[in-house]
Amino acid sequence: MPNSTPPSFFDWLKQKKEQLKSVSVSAETDLLWLAKSILGEQWSWGSSIEPSEEQMTELESLVERCLAGEPVAYILGEWEFYGLTLKVGPGVLIPRPETELVVDLALKQYSRGEGLSLADFGSGSGCLALALAKHLEPSSLFAVEPSEQALQILNENVKSHSAACIRILPCRVQDVVDQIQDESLDLIVANPPYIAENDSDVGQWVHKYEPHVALYSENQGLKDIEDWLAVSLKKLKAKGRYYFEIGWKQSEAVTSLLKESDGWNLIEIVKDYSGHPRVVVCEKAES
């Protein structure tokens, strides 16, 4: 007679972990987050907590969504960045760990209590703006973002983290014009859209689920990088700094852009934890 005993919860998890490997490089962590969201923060691998029938149905449905390629961050509706829990959802880029390097570098240079004026270009979820608001307590911080969907989430994150210094500007960086006074900013940070439209390295689930306005830029991914450099030059004080993320193959092109303009001193291009050139640090030259 065939054995009809249903698999134990642990066996079921093991089976799903194997299946998830076909869509995710972090199958075990994905499953951990999903299980915690249903069974409670205290659940972990090897835990004796077993799901009720209702919880099992909910968990099965979340795992099915994940198996269809939907990012865990969107399924959970929140994600961690620099120790902050942020709301995320379709229409906003999921904050990436390598972007935390922008914050690390800015915090090496600047300290709390300097009365700084800041801007975060292409704010998305507000991850960079909120991390800097928390650690630097600037006197003002402009978060510039044109996407309607992203703006909704950005507003919620700014409210839920009570970041009163952040003023949201619902427009493109190229259209900031009079909303930020010329030569008034000490520091600008950004993670611009920088992927070339034909880039075959982009993961299929990233392309399918994350907003294209957050990912892709014209001119081999350099259009927004170039435009935002020009705006930054107008809005920064002399010796003000601009920290921005780039694609790992763009350091030569970006170095040329900076050298072509006599307004910038390139301080450094810092590698991420995988050894790829990732964050550009440049300073506006004194005229």
| Cα–Cα nearest to 37, from 79, 67, 97, 91 | 79
Is 186 exposed, middle or buried (CB count within 10 Å of its CB: 0-12, 13-18, 19+)?
buried
The span of 22-30, 65-73, 187-195, 273-281 binding ligand SAM (CB under 6 A) equals: 187-195
- Is 95 a binding residue for ligand SAM by CB under 6 A? The answer is yes
- Is 210 a binding residue for ligand SAM by CB under 6 A? The answer is no
Per-position DSSP letters for 93-117, written without gaps between them: PPPPGGGHHHHHHHHHH--TTS--E
Per-residue mark of binding to ligand SAM, 146-175 (x: CB under 6 A): xx--x---------------------xxx-
Compute the least distance from the CB of residue 247 to ligand SAM, in Å: 10
- Is 280 a binding residue for ligand SAM by CB under 6 A? The answer is no
Residue 163 burial (CB count, 10 A): 19
- Is 31 a binding residue for ligand SAM by CB under 6 A? The answer is no
The span of 15-23, 37-45, 93-101, 159-167 binding ligand SAM (CB under 6 A) equals: 93-101
- Is 124 a binding residue for ligand SAM by CB under 6 A? The answer is yes
Closest CB to ligand SAM among 20 and 221? 221
Per-residue mark of binding to ligand SAM, 132-151 (x: CB under 6 A): ------------xxxx--x-
Q: Taken in order 81, 210, 249, 175, is the CA torsion positive or negative? A: negative
- Is 191 a binding residue for ligand SAM by CB under 6 A? The answer is yes
Residue 169, beta-bridge partner list: 144
CB under 8 Å, gap of 24 or more: what pairs does 7-11 form? 9/50, 9/51, 9/56
- Is 180 a binding residue for ligand SAM by CB under 6 A? The answer is no
The span of 30-38, 189-197, 254-262, 268-276 binding ligand SAM (CB under 6 A) equals: 189-197
Helices (H) and strands (E) in the chain, counts: 12, 9
- Is 123 a binding residue for ligand SAM by CB under 6 A? The answer is yes
- Is 214 a binding residue for ligand SAM by CB under 6 A? The answer is yes
Compute the least distance from the CB of residue 150 to ligand SAM, in Å: 5
Is the CB of residue 153 less than 8 Å from the CB of residue 92? yes
| Cα–Cα nearest to 96, from 217, 235, 195, 22 | 195
Which residues, at least 6 apart from 214, have a Cβ–Cβ distance to it below 8 Å?
Answer: 92, 93, 122, 124, 147, 150, 193
Is the CB of residue 129 less than 8 Å from the CB of residue 123? yes
Closest CB to ligand SAM among 99 and 232? 99
The span of 11-19, 116-124, 157-165, 254-262 binding ligand SAM (CB under 6 A) equals: 116-124
Q: Radius of gyration of the chain from Cα atoms?
A: 21
The span of 8-16, 71-79, 118-126, 256-264 binding ligand SAM (CB under 6 A) equals: 118-126
